[in-house]
Amino acid sequence: MSKTDEEIVAYLDSLDQESKAIKEELLKMCWYMRGGLTYEESMYLGRQEREIISKIIEDNLETTKKSGLPFY
């Protein structure tokens, strides 16, 4: 099955957007972990590991909001 130039460009654009989203997610994790996870280390995380870390961060932020304690 062959693809048109437009389909190939659209596919490559979608890969670029996905790559950018992953990098943004990883950099946010690094920021929230305040050096506990370097960007280089985060690049080796699998999808499931990223999802787990994101959930932990989300839970901690929610706890911080509910408790009224400052977030550092």
Q: What's the pLDDT score for residue 68?
A: 87
Q: What is the pLDDT of residues 22-72, one digit of tens each?
A: 999 999 999 999 889 999 999 999 999 999 999 999 998 899 999 988 766
Identify whether 29 is part of a domain.
yes
Identify whether 13 is part of a domain.
yes
Cα distances (Å, whole numbers) of residue 63 to 28, 33, 36, 58, 70: 18, 16, 20, 9, 11
Identify whether 44 is part of a domain.
yes
Q: Where are the alpha helices (DSSP H) in 1-72?
A: 5-32, 39-42, 47-67
The count of structural domains within the chain is 1
